[in-house]
A = this chain, B = another copy of it.
């Protein structure tokens, strides 16, 4: 396979995966483009490479920066902004997890806390709700703990350690 064909396929694949991961297609494609670009790119270069509008590039690049996986680079004597992606894929994955934990798990925990205030009834309906709220709350806290712990993994070394622990656990 030729280089250009490979690059296109990579951008395409990352875009598709991203959209099933709560990151929109274009955002993921910009991220892919920056991941395989050895140098930082300007807004214009991204527009040309992906054939999308200025507004679209601007909006999605800002989102990628909010996620902490793309950074702005300024060159002395040049007014343009250039962008490059975090190249450590583990760190990138951790940042995405962190953001999703904040955006999804934390609100869930908040709502479950509110729902614990529902008056306890002895009816089957009341008990089913109480059980569901309790179980989900418990699960959400556990998941939050696991992800928070993983956020603290900032090096590949540690990820390897973690994996080796997992591998040693004997499945039932």
Taking CB atoms, residues of chain B closer than 8 Å to A87 are 131-132
| B163–A145 touching, CB < 8 Å | yes
Q: How long is the Cα–Cα vector from A136 to B85 in the complex, in angstroms?
A: 14
Complex: chain B residue closest to A163, CB-CB: B142
A128 contacts B by Cβ under 8 Å: yes
Q: How long is the Cα–Cα vector from A87 to B136 in the complex, in angstroms?
A: 11
- How many residues on A have C-beta within 8 angstroms of the other chain's C-beta atoms? 70
| A129–B22 touching, CB < 8 Å | no
Number of copies of this protein chain within its complex = 2
Q: How long is the Cα–Cα vector from A111 to B103 in the complex, in angstroms?
A: 29
Taking CB atoms, residues of chain B closer than 8 Å to A152 are 171-172
Q: Which of B13, B149, B159 contacts A166 (CB 8 A)?
A: B149
Per DSSP, chain A at the interface is helix
| A9–B114 touching, CB < 8 Å | yes
Q: How long is the Cα–Cα vector from A121 to B135 in the complex, in angstroms?
A: 53
A119 contacts B by Cβ under 8 Å: yes
Q: How long is the Cα–Cα vector from A17 to B114 in the complex, in angstroms?
A: 16
| A145–B118 touching, CB < 8 Å | no
Known: A17-B104, A93-B139. 17 other contacts (CB 8 A): A1-B118, A3-B121, A7-B125, A10-B115, A10-B132, A13-B108, A20-B22, A20-B104, A21-B104, A36-B125, A38-B127, A87-B132, A89-B139, A149-B167, A153-B171, A153-B172, A165-B165
